Amino acid sequence: MYARVSTYTASPSNADRLVEAFGSDNRLSQMAGIRDAFLLVDRASGRALTITLWDSEEAMTASAVGATQVRQAATGTAEGRVESVEAYEVALHLADAAV
The string of pLDDT tens digits covering residues 47-57 is 999 999 999 99
Residue 98 lies in a domain: no
Percent of the chain with pLDDT over 70: 97
pLDDT for the residue numbered 28: 87
- Specify whether the backbone of 52 is left (phi greater than 0), alpha (psi in -120 to 50) or beta: beta
Q: Is residue 7 part of a domain?
A: yes
Query: How many domains, in total, are found in the chain?
Result: 1
Helix or strand or coil: residue 44? coil
Flag whether 72 is in a domain.
yes
Report if residue 40 sits inside a domain: yes
Model pLDDT for residues 75-94, shown as the tens digit of each residue = 999 999 999 999 999 999 88
Please tell me the predicted confidence (pLDDT) of residue 98. 62
Domain that includes residue 87, residue range: 2-92
> pTM score, two decimals?
0.90
Give domain status of residue 29, yes or no. Answer: yes
Q: What is the CATH number of the domain that holds 69?
A: 3.30.70.100
> What's the CA gap between 27 and 29, in Å, rounded?
6
Q: Residue 72 in 3-state DSSP?
A: helix
